Amino acid sequence: MAEKKAEKTEKVVAPAKSKGAPKKAAVRETAPKTTPKRAASMLSVDQLEREIRAEAQRVYENRRAKGLAGDELSDWLEAEVVIKKKHRL
């Protein structure tokens, strides 16, 4: 009988991938913290609300005098814009 030759099979393993230099954690730059504006720190919430209320009343009176459409919410929002600009808020 013919002799069978045993064939050896070798596993070929791919070399490990080089990771190179380890990755550094991403550093996130944040905006520098700013201190509150000076005018804002001098106003209390109550004072600010009173000013907005008074301005809203003026806006309402002007709107009514000119016969323009609107409501109290739009008057209040307009007054907020005016007062915030005034105090640079």
The reply to whether 75 falls in a domain is yes
The reply to whether 53 falls in a domain is yes
The reply to whether 44 falls in a domain is yes
AA letter at 35:
T
The reply to whether 43 falls in a domain is yes
Model pTM?
A: 0.54
The reply to whether 23 falls in a domain is no
The reply to whether 12 falls in a domain is no
**Structurally, how many domains does the chain consist of?**
1
Q: What does the pLDDT look like over 24-61, one tens digit per residue? A: 666 667 666 665 555 556 789 999 999 999 999 999 99
pLDDT at residue 6 is higher than 90? no
Closest-CA residue to 58 (of 84, 76, 81): 76
The reply to whether 65 falls in a domain is yes
Q: What range defines the domain where residue 48 resides?
A: 38-86
The reply to whether 48 falls in a domain is yes
Say which DSSP state 88 is in.
Answer: T
